Structure 1
Amino acid sequence: MKTSELFGKKTVLSFEIFPPKPTADEKVIYETLDGLSGLNPDFISVTYGAGGGNNCSKTVRIASDIKHKYGIESIAHLPCINLSEEDAVGILNQLEAEGIENILALRGDITAEVTPNGRFTHADELIRFIREKYHFNIIAACYPEGHIESKCIVEDIENLKRKADAGASQLVTQLFLDNDFFYRFQERAALAGIDLPTEAGIMPVTNKKQIERMTKMCGVQLPEKFRRIIDKYENNPEALRDAGIAYAINQIVDLIAHGVDGIHLYTMNKPYAARKIYEAVYSMLKV
């Protein structure tokens, strides 16, 4: 099933997981899936490789297992910055053979370990390539606070418009901790003529190092009330975990009240947090 078909019927709820690192026991990811599958998600997305690595085999296999063994629709992430056209075709053919119908098309992070190939320099190029040659449903990423590399928010919206025009059919946002950024983003996207269902990406922050790493990587701003939570509970891991979950629940309740198309939980492979959030908001999701 193409996940874009889910929107408009209910408030979509989905989860993101990541494959285990090469040195990790793979049973952990399936324990995570066992915990998440009982929460009735509309779909689960799988990041590319292990911790953003270059090997896509685990992504393909886990996405296939989610769909065929767990009976839940899956989305496979596909960053393109280091892919040749031959690489892209090989991965896309694998996904097609496994019956995966949904792809989150990304540029991917440029790091010391990732060398740009030159064929695909931006996500819209990959999206257009997929749209012209395959029949996948294509999801694109968007950034309520602007991409960390964008010069300004206007440039960021222009980049998003290119993704939409290239053939994306739904959007998912980077995590944010202040809903006002999301509402302003919606207004700007509408003014730019971008009319695609958009899931709000929410990450329940369960430890201080996690949020420090994510804010540095993504340029996410910390609201003052969130800083107070970190300062108050940083030496009490259990209290910080529960406070982070409560903060995420409040964000989601507000988003649902504003008619958000869907909620995409960045689970960090922690079913406990996802379950607590689901239990708090499931009655608010439209059936």
Structure 2
Amino acid sequence: MNIRDIFDQKKLVFSFEVFPPKNTSPIKNIYKALNELVKLEPDFISVTYGAGGSTVNNKTTEISSLIKNIYGIESLAHLTCISSTREQISDITERLRLEDVENILALRGDDNGTSCGDFKYANELISYVKGNKNFNIIAACYPEGHIENRDVKLEIDNIERKIECGVTSFISQLFLDNNTYYEFLEEVYKRNIKTKIQAGIMPVINAKQMKRITELCGATIPLKFKKIMEMYENNPEALTQAGIAYATDQIIDLSSSRVDGIHLYTMNNPYVAKNISKNIGKIINSINEVQNV
């Protein structure tokens, strides 16, 4: 099913993200995680496109196919364009097409300053894929601006450009302050943009993870969350529960504010996903039941 159709059917879309195991880890690890995650019946599961060459790329295609064709849940395959040639992108998209994977999350990817590929920006990848294969294209957006340019108005310019190239919905970068997200949406709506946007939520359950988030995407760390990290950073079990509770509170608030969807960055952790799903399951069902009345 095209993910665009899922948005037409549901008031609030709820999805997961997983990532392929590193080359040093057995791929069976992701199978174990998926066996638990699919029981939670998300609307779709996205599979990240890791760095590291064709082996990882094959895992992304393989896992996306598994989710769609074996587990019966719609999959969303990530595709990055930095350092990629048109020939490489055509090869990957053809493999996805043969596996009946209909949805692609088109991303630029991290620029290390040495890119020599055929694409520089995500909108170029979007146009190329849209023009050569019949895929539903989803893109990323950044509520606090991209880490390379924090201007939110420029970010909304990029959203408009991606829509013009064929994007049907967006998934946001993670954020820890809902007010930041609401301010972003307000600016989006001022432009009369009606394309669906899912809120990206990552349950942060360890201090190392918080540091990595800050470095990679520049997400603002609210004082409330800083206090949680400081209080429980030396107690992993307590910190896990606090991280789950914080993410749950975020999702309940977002759901009550009628956002289009929630995209949960699971970090391949079924325990966290199961607890959050249990906490919010009745809320999401209630919202979607109203849609179907």
Q: Same fold (TM over 0.5)?
A: yes
Deviations 1:10-58 (A, max 9, x none): 3111000000011101111000001100001000000013xx3333100
User: What is the percent sequence identity of the aligned residues?
Assistant: 51
Structure 1 runs not aligned, ≥5 long: none
In 1, distance between residues paired with 2:83 and 2:192?
Answer: 31
Deviates more, 1:154-163 or 1:24-33: 154-163
Query: Which residue of structure 2 lines up, in the alignment, with residue 33 of structure 1?
Result: 34
- Measured against aligned partners, the alpha-carbon deviations of 1:266-286 in whole angstroms (never above 9, x if no partner) come to 000000000000000010112
Corresponding position of 2:132: 133
Amino acid at match of 2:174: L
Mapping 1:1-287, distance limit 5 Å = 1-8=1-8, 9-49=10-50, 52-55=51-54, 56-111=57-112, 115-285=114-284, 286-287=288-289
Distance in 2 between the 1:83 and 1:28 partners? Answer: 28
- How far apart, CA to CA, are the structure 2 residues paired with 1:191 and 1:10? 22
Structure 1 vs Structure 2 CA RMSD: 1.1
Where do 5+ consecutive residues of structure 2 fail to align?
A: none
Residue identity opposite 1:5 in structure 2: D
Secondary structure, counterpart of 1:38 in structure 2 = helix
Cα pair 1:267 1:274 within 8 Å, conserved: yes
Matched pairs, number: 283
CA distance in 2, matches of 1:26, 1:6: 29
Asked whether the equivalents of residues 48 and 54 of structure 1 are also in contact (C-alpha less than 8 Å), the reply is no
d(CA) in 2 for partners of 1:10, 1:192: 22
Provide Cα deviations, 1:237-256, integer angstroms capped at 9, x if missing partner.
Answer: 10011000000000000000
Q: Which amino acid aligns with 2:263?
A: H
State the TM-score, normalizing by the size of structure 2. 0.94
Q: Cα offset for 1:61?
A: 0.4
Q: Residue deviations 1:189-243, cap 9 Å, x none?
A: 1222322111100000110000110111101010000000000001101001100
Contact 2:144 2:150 in 1 (8 A): no
Larger helix proportion of the pair: 2
CA distance in 2, matches of 1:191, 1:74: 32
Contact residue 164 and residue 194 of structure 1 kept, 8 A? no
Further displaced range: 15-24 or 5-14:
5-14
TM-score, with length taken from structure 1: 0.96
2:173 aligned partner, one-letter code: Q
